[in-house]
Amino acid sequence: MTKLHQHTFGSGKPITLVHGWAMHSGIWRDFAKQLARHYQVTCIDLPGHGRSGKLTPFTLEQITDALANAITDGRSCWLGWSLGATVVLELARRFPERVDGLILLAGNPHFTGMAQWPGTKPQLLDQFADSLAANCQATLVRFLALQVNSLPDGKSLLKTLKAAVAECAPPDTETLQGGLAILKSADLRPVLAAADVPVLAVLGNRDTLVPAAVLRHLQPLSPNIQTHIIDKAGHLPFLSHPQELLAVIAGFMDSHFMDKSTMPEKIRIKQSFSAAASSYDKVALLQRKVGKQLLQTIDPASVSGTLLDLGCGTGFLTGELLDLAHGGQVIALDMAFAMLKTAQTKLPADAPVHYVCADAEHLPLADHSVDVVFSNLALQWCSQLDSVFADLKRVLKPGGQLVFSTFGTDTLQELKTAWASVDNYAHVNEFHDKSQLQQQLQQAGFKEIQLDSSLYLSRYDGVLALMQELKQLGAHNVLAGRNPRLTTKASMQQMIVAYQDLCGYDGISASFEVISGVALA
């Protein structure tokens, strides 16, 4: 039995990475380290590649047998790059009990082009097969160069790729010829059409081997296929655009594999804000006011590079952050996909803004990759704020700036008091106070911390008008310690009467304590 070399690290939902033709698992190193912050990642060498034993013949059936024998720890999400995408599709066909999901990176279920299906020209694969026997080393160098053609940073990417590949001896000619034969003949489109697991297909729009047009042909195959195109990326998005790829994978994994038994509140938050995307801007007056004031705390002269709009919502401040970036870029990040889609409509398509669907508590960003983090009234929805601050310290460059606002403990105090006269359940989230935030920021390693608190008073025609606004903001029913039973009309009416008695006039008021902060990494 052929022994396959593998390395597993990290914790969480298992993801197994399968490399492409003539490569080995070492090419994943930096990307896999970032992925392993949130998942259990296994990097494996295909037979005859890297440090794995040779397999004869090198066929899809033999390869998938070897993988199934090597990865025995239950089900996994399989990420296959290039030839690896073909391999994981075959694995899903033959060993469905081992597969929870598929991520096809720069892969094509029918690699060679044909009528009505875009792909690599068969003649190119024939040329590689012919030249292998004559000069294997020159053929591999040519293949590496082909993967970075048309990219502005192609030279540096090629240098990085060559260094990674050179860590191991190349596969022998028989193995390489077997891989080309698979790419030329395999047709895994029926597997995709029959897939009953989630599938993510990611391509670069400058890939010279797998045309981005493939995605238009993938989506009609199955409703389970999610697609994404990375702008200005070629065949190596894990090297050229790691942050965007990490974010896309995180969004896919969170959507399909989030542990709903341990994160029910976070699921409610995401659903609430997604449902509120269309109504949010109409009622987010306080959010806009606080955000505008928060922007004024940023010294424009000190801002450059990459800004992270954390919890960007509908993007009503993203454009202004882009103006502050002085030619840099903005990462607009939100956990609600519908919010991000709304944000995308507010800026030109060619604006240097990367839209990332991810959880602030699981940032798919590289270390020291951000110059400024801006977060307006979003951090209050994070259950582990100390971990969030620690992660923000990680992604910020040394001396980078964190600018944020969040709700304080006096927020909706009238609503809390009114409900307290009805029952002992918590009907409003418990927020942090200044001393807690100060301590958490210090523990995370931030310095020069400045915190201020302001109390905003909003007036409403009645309690139901307040409740309706919270619903339109997506901030309703996100509660800690909630009543396990539905709220009855009688208890709701009792709360309304108690609230009106507190105010003592026609209409009601609601308090919102806003804590704003600035700190340096």
* Residue 207: active-site member: yes
Q: What pLDDT is recorded for position 486?
A: 52
Residue with tokens 């106070």: 433
* Whether the predicted pLDDT of 117 surpasses 80: yes
Q: Does residue 308 have a pLDDT over 50?
A: yes
The pTM of this model reads: 0.64
Task: Give pLDDT, residue 477.
Answer: 43
Torsion sign (Cα): 270, 275, 278, 280 = negative
When mean pLDDT is compared across 116-130, 177-191, 246-260, 298-312, the lowest value belongs to: 246-260
The percentage of residues in the chain with a pLDDT greater than 90, rounded to a whole number, is: 49
**Does the annotation count 82 as an active-site position?**
yes
Q: For residue 258, what is the DSSP state?
A: -
Catalytic site residue from 76, 82, 274, 405: 82
For 345, the token pair is 């409509």
Residues 6+ apart with CB under 8 A from 486: none
Q: What confidence tier does 271 reach under pLDDT thresholds 50, 70, 90?
A: low
* Two structure tokens written together for 61: 């059936």
Q: What is the mean pLDDT of residues 425-454?
A: 91
Residue 270 binned pLDDT confidence (cut-offs 50, 70, 90): low
- Examine the pLDDT at 373 and tell me if it is beyond 60: yes
| DSSP 8-state assignment for residue 521 | -
- For 198-257, the pLDDT digits (tens) are 999 999 999 999 999 998 888 788 777 888 888 889 999 999 888 888 888 887 887 777
Mean of pLDDT over the chain: 87
Higher pLDDT, 74 or 293: 293
The one-letter amino acid at 382: C
pLDDT for 478: 42
Peptide bond into 364 cis (omega under 30): no
The catalytic position among 235, 241, 354, 432 is 235
In this predicted structure, the answer to whether residue 8 has a pLDDT above a threshold of 60 is: yes
Cα angle: 477, vertex 479, 481; to 5 degrees: 135
Confidence band for 479, pLDDT divided at 50, 70 and 90: very low
Is the per-residue pLDDT at 274 higher than 80? no
pLDDT tens digits for 342-367? Answer: 888 888 888 899 888 888 888 888 88
Q: What is the pLDDT of residue 481?
A: 43
Q: What domains can be seen in the chain, in order of their start residue? A: 6-257 (3.40.50.1820), 264-520 (3.40.50.150)
Whether residue 279 is predicted with pLDDT greater than 80 in this model: the reply is no
- Judge whether residue 330 has pLDDT over 60: yes
Residue 417 Cα distances to 29, 413, 426, 496, 513, angstroms: 54, 6, 10, 11, 15
Cα separations in angstroms, 140 against 121, 178, 210, 262, 321:
18, 15, 18, 47, 44
49: which 2 tokens? 């590649």
> Regarding predicted confidence, which is higher, 233 or 134?
233
Mean pLDDT, to the nearest integer, of 149-170? 85
Which range has the top average pLDDT, 296-300, 314-318, 407-411, 449-453? 449-453
Active site annotation includes 368: no
- As given in the structure block, the two tokens for residue 231 are 């702008």
Those residues whose C-beta lies under 8 Å from the C-beta of residue 115, and which sit 6 or more positions away, are none
pLDDT at 350: 84
Nearest to 101, CA basis, from 78, 84, 133, 134? 78
Which position among 207, 309, 334, 371 bears the catalytic label? 207
Query: How many helices (H) and strands (E) in the chain?
Result: 21, 14
Lowest mean pLDDT segment, chosen from 87-91, 214-218, 262-266:
262-266
**What is the C-alpha end-to-end distance of the chain, expressed in Å?**
52
